[in-house]
Structure 1
Amino acid sequence: MAKIIPFKAVRPTRDKVSLIAARSYDSYTPQQREARLRDNPFSFLHIVNPGYKYDQVISGKERYTLVRNRYQEFKEDDIFKKDETASYYVYKIVNRDGLVFHGIIAAASAQDYEDDIIKKHEDTLKYKEEIFVEYLKTVGFNAEPVLITYPDNPELETIISKAISVRAEYEFTTTYRDTHYLWPILDTAIIDKISAIFDKMDTLYIADGHHRSSSSYLLAKTSKEENKNHKGTETYNYFMSYLIPESNLKIYEFNRLVKDLNGLKKEEFLIKLDAHFRIENRGLEYYKPSKKNHFSMYLDGNFYSLYLRKDYYKIENALDGLDTHILFKLILDPILGIKDLRSDKRIDYSHGKNDLAYVKTVVDRGDFKVGFGLVPVTTNEMKQIANEGLKMPPKSTYIEPKLRSGVTIYEF
C-alpha cells in the first residue's frame, strides 16, 4: 500500500512567490538565465547557481555548499518560511495552451520506491544518481517535486474540487504564461482521509523525475545505514512528489533527429528501410503519424510515411510494441549505427510541442540529415512497461505538467 504523507513545506511569502518560482535550470537559454539572474534578486536560480554572485562558474562539492548557503540566506531574510503544521498542498496549473492540471504535493516513501509500489518506466544513469545524492546530502532539501500518477479516484477529486473552490494561497502567472495556484490542506480530518485513500492504492507510477526519485531513495538508504538510531520516521525516508490522476497527464512524443545516414546514399537508405516498412513519399505534405507503428520521416526535402510491416516483426512484450523501441531496433541501431541513445552525438531529440515544422527547419538548414516523427506514448503503455519491469528508451516521453522549483521545498 502506498505511503503518502503530509509535510511541513518551506515556502516563499505570498508577495514573492512569483519572483522566486523558476523552471529547471537547463530549460533556460544562457541569455535567459543571465537576464533573470541580473534583473530578479529573488529568483530561485540564485540558489541553484550560487557562483553568479562572484561571477564564477563553480561546480562539485564547492557549488553544493554554496547552494546550501544561498538557501539559508533566503530563509534568514524571511523570503522562505517553514509551515508550522504538516499539510498536503493542492496544486493547480493552467498552462498557456489552456490545459488544466491539478493534484496534491506530498511526501512519497523511499521504501515504496524500493518495494516497487512506486513503479518506474525509465532507466537511470548511475553517475547522475551518485552526483545528485551528494548534492542532496549537502544541500538538505528537495525543491522540485517528482511527478507521480495514480489511478483516477472520485474521493480525491471531490477533496481537490472543494479545496480549489476558495481563494488560493498562491495565484501567480509566469512569463511563460502559465498560471499556478496552491492551497494548503490544514484540516486534520481531510489530511487523514487523503492518507487513507493513498494507503488503499497498490501501485503508483513515476511519470517524470526518475533520477530525482532514485537519488532520493539512495539518500534514504545511505542515511539509514549511517544512523544507528534509525526509526523510519525521519524526513530522509521520503521525497517530495506531485501526485496527479492518470487522466490528467499530458504526454507528448519525442521526435528523433540524426546527423547523417551512416555512409549510405539516400536510395540505399530507403531500400534498407523497405525491409521492415511500407514507404510512401508524401512530398511537402506535413505528414504526422496518427496511430501506433506508423512513423513520419523527413529526408532531403520530402516527408515520408513509414508503416511497420507487422508480419516481419515479433512483439513479445510491452517494450517490443513501443514505437521508440521499434525505431531503435529497426532503424537507428542496425541501419544508422546508433548504439547508445544517451551518449551518441549523432542523434538529438525534439519534443512534440515543437511539431514537425521544427524537424523540417533543422534538416533543411543542414543541422541534421533525417528526422523521424512518432505518435505519443500512452499512459497505459507507460504503465504496462513499468508493470513488466521493463524500461523505455531514453526520451520516449515529454510529460506535462512541468512544475516550478522553489514553490514548495521539502527539507530532510
Structure 2
Amino acid sequence: MVVRPFRGLRPRKDMIDKVAAKPYDVVSTEEARKEAERNPYTFYKVTRPEINFDGEVDTHSDEVILKGKEVLDNFQKEGVMILEDKPAIYVYKEEWKGYSQIGIYATFSTQEYREGKIKKHELTRKDKEDERARHVKLMQAHTGPVFLMYRSRPEIDQLIIKHTTKEPEYDYTDESGIHHTLWVVKDENEIKEIVDAFKSVDAFYIADGHHRAAAAARAAEELAKENPNHTGEEEYNFFLAVLFPHSQLHILDYNRVVKDLNGNSKEEFLKKISAKFDIEDAPNSPFKPEKKHEFGMYLDGKWYKLSAKEGTFDKNDVVSSLDVAILQNNLLNPILGIENPRTDKRINFVGGIKGVEELQRLVDSGEYTVAFALYPTSIEELLQVADEGKIMPPKSTWFEPKLKSGIIVHLM
C-alpha cells in the first residue's frame, strides 16, 4: 500500500489550540459562528466558510467556498499557518478517557481507493460526493483528513511508536479533553523506513470519512481529465488521511430515537416486539446493553431489556448479525414502519459519546416516544464487512475520539 509524505500546511506551534477545530459535520453553522466570535483563528472559517458572511447564504455556493480558501490563504500569508519546508510524515497521538491511538498523517492513493484496496463499509450519497469534490477543487486543498486503519502489525506499530520518544511539535489538550501530540518526521531515511513498511500491507480500511475519500477520488479524476500533462504523481492524486492500527481504535454505540409508535398503542407495540425479542424489565436505569444481541429500550418512563430470539438473524452473514441490522430488520422496519433510516424523518441517531442518559432525556422531553440503546459494533465486524465487500446499515459505528480539522492541511 502507498503511504506518501507531503509538505503539510499547519498552525504555528503557539497557534495549534486556536486553529484546530472539530470536523465540519459535527457542528452547526451557529456553533461555528459563536466559536469564530470568540476566536478569530478557528479553522471553522475554512471548513464552515458561511460564517464569514453576515446573514443567510448558500453554504454550497462557489462564492462561499472561495471565501474559505481566501481565509486559508490569509492564514498562510499572516504566518498563522506555515508550509513545511520539505515533505514529511507526521506521527500523531490522541489520548481520551484512558484510550490512546498512535498513527500517522500522510497522503494516500486515490487510485488504490478506486481499485478497492482502500476498503469501505458504508454507502455514500452522490449529492454529498459532488458537493465535497467541488469543495476540494475550489479550495485546492484537502482541509479535513479521512480516518483510516490497517490491521495491526507489531513491527509496524512499534516503528511508528518509536518516534513518540522525541520532542513533539504539538502537545495540547482541547476543549473536549482530548490530548493531542504530534511529531514531525522529515529525515528521509526515517520516512523511507515507514513508507517501505506499509508496502507489504494488503489493504487499508476507512473508519470514518467515506464521503471525503470518495470526493477526493472524484476530484482527482476530474482534475486529471483537465490536465493534458497528467502523470499520476500530482498532489491531487493523493488525499489527506490519518492511519491507525485497528487494535487501538475505539467504537462507541450508535443509538436510535423514534418519534412515534407508528399507530400502535403501547400494549400492541410490546406484543409485536415479543414475537422477535424476549422482553424483561431492565436490571438498572438507565440501561446500557452489556453484550451483543442485547438492546435497551426506553418507553413511557421505563427501561426494558430486549434480547434477540433465535431466527432473527443469519449467523453466517456478518451484516445480518450486526445489532443495528437486527433492530432494523425485526423492529424498526416491520413494526415502526421505518424502511429507510437514511431518509425517514421519524428516526434520529444519538452517538454514544452522549450516553444513554441522553436517550432518556429526549423521550422524557416529549420530542420522541421510544429510544433504543445498542451494544457497539466491533472493529472485527467492521473489518469483516469491508473484506467481504459488503455494506453496513446506516449509522452503525461512532468512532471516538474523532479527528480534528486544521492540524494538517494538504495543499494541491
Q: TM-score, normalised by structure 2?
A: 0.95
Conserved in 2, the CA contact under 8 Å of 1:295 and 1:306? Answer: yes
Conserved in 2, the CA contact under 8 Å of 1:284 and 1:302? Answer: no
For residues 108-148 of structure 1, give each alpha carbon's deviation from its aligned partner in whole angstroms, at most 9, with x where no partner exists: 11111111111001111110001111111101111221111
Partner of 2:216: 216
Conserved in 2, the CA contact under 8 Å of 1:119 and 1:387? Answer: yes
| AA in 2 matched with 1:379 | I
Partner of 1:71: 72
Structure 1's 283 and 381: CA in aligned 2 closer, same or farther, altered over 3 A? closer
For residues 151-209 of structure 1, give each alpha carbon's deviation from its aligned partner in whole angstroms, at most 9, with x where no partner exists: 21222332223211122111122222222111111121111111111110001110010
Partner of 1:106: 106
Partner of 2:62: 61
Give the secondary structure class of the aligned counterpart of 1:205: strand
Conserved in 2, the CA contact under 8 Å of 1:150 and 1:245? Answer: yes
| AA in 1 matched with 2:195 | S
> Where in structure 2 are the equivalents of 1:394-405 lying within 5 Å?
394-405=394-405
For residues 340-384 of structure 1, give each alpha carbon's deviation from its aligned partner in whole angstroms, at most 9, with x where no partner exists: 111211101111222221111211221111111111011110011
Structure 2 unaligned blocks of 5 or more: none
Partner of 2:9: 10
CA RMSD of the aligned region, Å? 1.6
| AA in 2 matched with 1:327 | L
- The runs of at least 4 consecutive aligned structure 1 residues that moved more than 6 Å come to none
Partner of 1:384: 384
Structure 1's 250 and 283: CA in aligned 2 closer, same or farther, altered over 3 A? closer
Structure 1 stretch 261-270 or stretch 38-47: which is displaced more?
A: 38-47
Deviation at 1:225, TM superposition (A): 2.1
Deviation at 1:26, TM superposition (A): 4.0
Partner of 1:206: 206
Q: TM-score, normalised by structure 1?
A: 0.95
> Where in structure 2 are the equivalents of 1:4-403 lying within 5 Å?
4-28=3-27, 32-58=31-57, 59=59, 60-95=61-96, 97-282=97-282, 285-311=285-311, 313-403=313-403
CA distance in 1 between partners of 2:35 and 2:91 (Å): 28
For residues 258-297 of structure 1, give each alpha carbon's deviation from its aligned partner in whole angstroms, at most 9, with x where no partner exists: 0000000011111111111111123763332222111111
For residues 281-321 of structure 1, give each alpha carbon's deviation from its aligned partner in whole angstroms, at most 9, with x where no partner exists: 23763332222111111111111111111245434421111
Structure 1 stretch 11-20 or stretch 56-65: which is displaced more?
A: 56-65
Conserved in 1, the CA contact under 8 Å of 2:29 and 2:48? Answer: no
CA distance in 1 between partners of 2:312 and 2:29 (Å): 47
For residues 75-105 of structure 1, give each alpha carbon's deviation from its aligned partner in whole angstroms, at most 9, with x where no partner exists: 111212211211110011122x232221100
CA distance in 1 between partners of 2:160 and 2:4 (Å): 16
CA distance in 2 between partners of 1:312 and 1:34 (Å): 46
CA distance in 2 between partners of 1:287 and 1:177 (Å): 26
Conserved in 1, the CA contact under 8 Å of 2:93 and 2:102? Answer: yes
| AA in 2 matched with 1:404 | K
Conserved in 2, the CA contact under 8 Å of 1:101 and 1:401? Answer: no
CA distance in 2 between partners of 1:26 and 1:229 (Å): 35
Q: Number of matched residues?
A: 410
| AA in 2 matched with 1:3 | V
Deviation at 1:36, TM superposition (A): 1.7
Conserved in 1, the CA contact under 8 Å of 2:29 and 2:50? Answer: no
Conserved in 2, the CA contact under 8 Å of 1:92 and 1:101? Answer: yes
Structure 1 stretch 281-290 or stretch 365-374: which is displaced more?
A: 281-290
Give the secondary structure class of the aligned counterpart of 1:383: helix
CA distance in 2 between partners of 1:121 and 1:337 (Å): 25
Deviation at 1:408, TM superposition (A): 0.4
CA distance in 1 between partners of 2:287 and 2:53 (Å): 50
CA distance in 1 between partners of 2:231 and 2:184 (Å): 28
Conserved in 1, the CA contact under 8 Å of 2:160 and 2:194? Answer: no
Deviation at 1:39, TM superposition (A): 2.0
Structure 1 stretch 165-174 or stretch 328-337: which is displaced more?
A: 165-174
Structure 1 unaligned blocks of 5 or more: none
Conserved in 1, the CA contact under 8 Å of 2:178 and 2:401? Answer: no
Structure 1's 230 and 30: CA in aligned 2 closer, same or farther, altered over 3 A? closer
Give the secondary structure class of the aligned counterpart of 2:305: strand
CA distance in 1 between partners of 2:231 and 2:213 (Å): 21
| AA in 2 matched with 1:343 | T
CA distance in 2 between partners of 1:147 and 1:49 (Å): 20
Structure 1's 24 and 128: CA in aligned 2 closer, same or farther, altered over 3 A? same
Deviation at 1:150, TM superposition (A): 0.7
Deviation at 1:48, TM superposition (A): 2.9
